[in-house]
Each structure stands twice: as structure tokens, then as C-alpha cells.
Amino acid sequence: MALIIPVRGFDPVIGRDTFLAENATIVGDVVIGDECSVWFNTVLRGDVNSIRIGNRVNIQDGSVLHTLYEKSVIEIADDVSIGHNVTLHGCKIERLALIGMGAIVMDHAVVGEGALVAAGSVVLSGTKIGPGEMWGGAPARFIKPVDPEQAKELNRKIASNYLMYSRWYSEPRDGEVSNS
């Protein structure tokens, strides 16, 4: 079972049909929407400020989400995919965006609707990535516009796949009987 820790009077709130890997850590002022998945070795640390996560968001293995005390929060809209080993620190990710593996997105950065941040990128504090833009590099720079329909299709497919994967973990194992 995931480690869920209340801090400073804040209890994490977990939406319905949300999968939390058994070694995920959810701390403090964190609200997670419905049909999300938080994967292995992921840490959502809402101890110093709030983390708000929409519906159908997948936060993949080894990712870390944190904020600045009294200065930044994390907001993630619906249908967002956060790749493996991503660091999000006090930023806003709008709906249908994709953050590639190993990327870092810093305080007060905004990743627009349907935008893509390439794997390994470093999005500096205060950066504004427009809707449907692909950014990459360290520091991240604009690469090209992304076809909005392709981005929407890709991100919905990833979100749907991760919802399917998460359900594998609630299936009975050989010899077990389901309680549902």
C-alpha cells in the first residue's frame, strides 16, 4: 500500500479508481483526481504547498513533485502524462500535455495545452510554453509546433494505456478470488 502521510493538518485526497503503486509516497496538501495513476517510487510532496492533479493523469515511475514554501504550487490539468523520472517543481501543466522522461520543469513555468516537453529537457523557472508547442534541450527551447489533433490523440492514448496498466494490479492472481 502506498505511503500516505498527513502533514500540517493536510490529508492527501485520492480520487476514485486511482491507482497508487505500493511504494508511491503522497504527503500533505495533495489532491488527486479520478482515474489517475501514480507509479513506483514516485513522490508527491505537498508538505510546503499544494499539489492539485486533475483526472486521468499518469505520473510514471520515479517522478518527484514538490513546491516552494508559500511561493509556488503545482497544478496539473486533466489527461496529462508525466514520464518516468520527471521532476516538477511549483509549475503548471495544462490539459493533454506530455512531459517526457527525465525532464525537469521548474517553479512558475507553464506548459500549455497539448504541449510536449522532450525527454531530458530542463524548463527553467518562469518559462511559458504555448499550447501545441514542442520544447526540448537544457535549457529547453522551442523546437516546433505540434499538430493539435496528433498531440491530443497521442496523449489520450498514453493516458488510456496507463489506466489499463493500473487495472492489471487489481486483477486477482492465479488461485485468488476477486472480491468485486
Q: pLDDT by residue (tens digit) across 92-139?
A: 999 999 999 999 999 999 999 999 999 999 999 999 999 999 999 999
pLDDT of residue 170: 82
Determine the residue type at 25: T
pLDDT tens profile 36-68: 999 999 999 999 999 999 999 999 999 999 999
25 inside domain: yes
Of the two residues 179 and 79, the one the predictor is more confident about is: 79
Q: Is the pLDDT of residue 180 over 50?
A: no
Distance CA(5)–CA(144), nearest Å, equals: 41
19 inside domain: yes
Determine the residue type at 49: N
113 inside domain: yes
Per the rule left: phi > 0, alpha: psi between -120 and 50, beta: everything else, 87 is: beta
Of the two residues 38 and 167, the one the predictor is more confident about is: 38
Q: What angle do CA 66, 122, 114 make, to 5 degrees?
A: 85
Q: Which three cell numbers stand for residue 64?
A: 518527484
CATH number at residue 142: 2.160.10.10
Range of the domain at 127: 3-168
174 inside domain: no
Q: Is the pLDDT of residue 171 over 80?
A: no
DSSP state of 170: T
CB-CB neighbours of 152 under 10 Å = 17
Q: Is the pLDDT of residue 143 over 50?
A: yes
Q: What is the pTM of this model?
A: 0.93
107 inside domain: yes
Q: What is the mean pLDDT of the chain?
A: 94
Structurally, how many domains does the chain consist of? 1
User: Smallest Cα–Cα separation from 29: which of 67, 57, 85, 3?
Assistant: 67
179 inside domain: no
150 inside domain: yes
175 inside domain: no
